[in-house]
Amino acid sequence: MKLVSYNTQYSKGKDGRYDLERIAKTLEGADVIALQEVDRFWPRTGMIDQPAELAALLPNYYWVYGPAFNMDASEAGADGAVINRRRQFGNMILSRWPLIWSRLHVLPKLSNVNQFTMDMPALEAVIDAPSGPLRLLSIHLSSVSSRERMIQVDYLLGRHDGAPANGGAWAGISNIRGDESWSLGAPPPEAPSEAIWMGDFNSEPSGPEYDAIVGLKGRLYGRVHFADRFADAWVCAGNDEASGTTMHFEGTKPDRRLDYCFVSAALAGCVSSARVDTDAQGSDHQPVWVEIEP
Amino acid sequence: MKLVSYNIQYSKGRDGRYDLERIADSLQGADVIALQEVERNWPHSGMTDQPALLEALMPGYYAIYGPGFDMDASEISNDGVVTNRRRQFGNMILARWPLIWSRVYSLPRLKTVDQYEIRACPPSKPLSTRPGPRCGSCRSISAASHAASA
Amino acid sequence: MQIDYLLGLHDHAPAGGGPWTSTPTIRGDDFWALGALPPEAPHEAIWMGDFNLEPDSPEYEAMVGPKSRLYGRVQYADRFADAWVAAGHDEADSVTYLADETFPAMRLDYCFVSAGLAERVRSAHVDKDAAGSDHQPVWVDIDL
């Protein structure tokens, strides 16, 4: 199974051109796609509906869109009729197989007085993969500070720990007083405790966010993969955690590794390869590809 | 300011008829409306897009929809083209003034084995450009034994 | 558990702010904020909906305060008032879910307002005639 994570910067490429076709071409061949920074109805992207346009460019995929940032962009006519429209920014998940259920988490935010920060999304979905249900999150953490990112990571880990008790979109018995029109005769959907987290974590392996997700670096044993936490798929595939930068800067500023694919520790053995597409020009981030055999 | 809260049971009335116009009639005169149990693409409500239909029935309102329950209802053609569709259930907020910003919160839930329950989701948003309170439309889980606070 | 989560979000609101905060430009580029100031995130809130609880429950108490023998419900500044009660009704004196063959009549639907807004509530009523659902609409008139 080929998975790819890509912060698309709302299709604005390194040449300053907005090009969704270029984004779609970069994603060809993927089975599962986790995107971040997808716009709906922003002036900067020509007031288009990017999720709908990406879906049209990738017609063989099931998809969900989860915007954490959601503001009014409506118009009211002279007769008082409202053309209702929301200016949105968030994540997408696309998949070759149905997305059985999905859930949007608006991550906790801290307001500050001297740097721009905004509501950030974690979009969760369970994929009806041939190997069985696969739970995936497309995540985008705040760029502004570790303090805020740690609150967001703690929230996500708390929901991760709660997943078995929490369940999927619905749980329990499949009928309400003989009425099966809720469950449509199906059993409760699965919510596997294992998960794959992909996205832009806006932090590097030297940061506390990475420690919280994959474990502290111990002197004797390196990173210990706890059963209730994650492994870095890039490292599982044989790479060094400090390599694999995903954001390049011109000039003297060093490249940064900000985009990851983390897999539940139990899935670490399923990772067969990982690469960063260093040629992609469609965004200020590079796509991260991971191949797993679940 | 007139506020109204209505769990619309996806427009299924006491007579068993699904009638969104009847729902809209009940809401006439409101400035701010908080609805629960609004559906998209469910067989029992005729695979309709209830948020869109309600917006059309109440054209003078700004509106947002926040589904906590979101499942696949897509179709795939023989040549592999997906008609992407989600079966959704959740809350709406409508207002006579713009909904400046909004958020959907996915409420935590405990899985039960003997009662049906689904994810609830309150969208929350502040009203208009005047400073004023935030407004939330809530629906808790239906298995009351698990709704208790700690 | 859900009420605790919502009250946690409510308490976090001043620190959290609205969908974006602080300076409207990123490196001189203001196309994020579109020239606007950060949107407000008032701490005061109105919560409306089907809470699937009744006034004698711990969840109701978490929202509107414990019932003290001397003072009735104590309304804490960081919590809520029941608009139905603020409008002069008794908290137990309302039905929003009519009895059917399975369940008795219950009061399940509410409008809670931040304690500081309670005095602005002018009136509240339940539309007993609406037949469009298995719940009844709850109306509140408030000076805002």
pLDDT at A230: 97
Tell me the per-residue pLDDT of A56-93, one tens digit each, with 9 for 90 and over: 999 999 999 999 999 999 999 889 899 999 999 999 99
- Determine the residue of chain C that is closest to B18 in CA distance: C132
d(CA C84, CA C57): 16
Q: Does A69 touch chain C (CB under 8 A)?
A: yes
Cβ distance of C17 and A111 shorter than 8 Å: yes
**ipTM of the prediction:** 0.85
Tell me the per-residue pLDDT of B22-37, one tens digit each, with 9 for 90 and over: 999 999 999 999 999 9
pTM of the model: 0.89
B123-126 and A196-200 beta bridge pairing? unpaired
CB contacts, 8 Å: C64 with chain B: none
C103 or A28, which is more confident: A28
- Determine the residue of chain B that is closest to A67 in CA distance: B103
CB contacts, 8 Å: A102 with chain B: 70-71, 86
- What are the tokens at B131? 């400073």
For chain A, positions 176-205, list CB contacts with chain C under 8 A: 177
Cβ distance of B110 and A166 shorter than 8 Å: yes
CB C96 within 8 Å of CB C126: yes
pLDDT at C56: 92
d(CA B56, CA B36): 18
Residue A44: count of CB within 10 angstroms of its CB? 13
Ordered domains of chain A (ranges, CATH): 2-73+83-169+187-292 (3.60.10.10)
Site of tokens 């900000």 = A258
Band of pLDDT at residue C142, cut at 50, 70 and 90: very high
The nearest CA of chain A is from the CA of C22 a distance in Å of 5
Give the Å distances, CA to CA, from C49 to B36, B115, B120, B137, C7. 7, 21, 11, 5, 15
A164 or B42, which is more confident: B42
pLDDT at A179: 66
Closest C-alpha among C120, C87, C97 to residue C51: C97
The nearest CA of chain C is from the CA of B86 a distance in Å of 23
- What are the tokens at C82? 């029941």
CB contacts, 8 Å: B4 with chain C: 137-140
Q: Does C23 touch chain B (CB under 8 A)?
A: no
CATH 3.40.50.1820 assigned to C2-17+41-142: no
- Determine the residue of chain C that is closest to A121 in CA distance: C19
pLDDT at A170: 80
Cβ distance of C19 and A71 shorter than 8 Å: yes
Closest C-alpha among A209, A207, A261 to residue A233: A261
Sign of CA dihedral A122, A70, A5, A31: positive
The residues, any chain, with a CB within 8 Å of residue C49's CB and separated by 6 or more, are B5, B7, B34, B36, B91, B122, B136, B137, B138, B139, C109, C110
Q: Is the pLDDT score of A133 beyond 60?
A: yes
Instruction: Return the DSSP state at A188.
Output: P
The nearest CA of chain A is from the CA of C128 a distance in Å of 25
pLDDT at B116: 44
Q: What is the dihedral of CA A208, A213, A214, A216, to 10 degrees?
A: 30
For chain C, positions 54-93, list CB contacts with chain B under 8 A: 57-59, 62
Residue B129: count of CB within 10 angstroms of its CB? 12
Ordered domains of chain B (ranges, CATH): 3-143 (3.60.10.10)
Q: What is the dihedral of CA A71, A73, A78, A79, to 10 degrees?
A: -60
Cβ distance of C50 and B36 shorter than 8 Å: yes
Sign of CA dihedral C123, C124, C128, C131: positive
Tell me the per-residue pLDDT of C7-55, one tens digit each, with 9 for 90 and over: 887 887 777 777 777 665 655 555 666 767 777 777 888 999 999 889 9
CB contacts, 8 Å: C17 with chain A: 109-111
CB contacts, 8 Å: B124 with chain C: 45
Closest C-alpha among A254, A274, A262, A193 to residue A223: A262
Sequence ranges of the domains in chain C: 2-17+41-142
Tell me the per-residue pLDDT of A256-268, one tens digit each, with 9 for 90 and over: 999 999 999 999 9
Cβ distance of C52 and B23 shorter than 8 Å: no
CB contacts, 8 Å: B107 with chain C: 2, 5-6
CB B138 within 8 Å of CB B120: yes
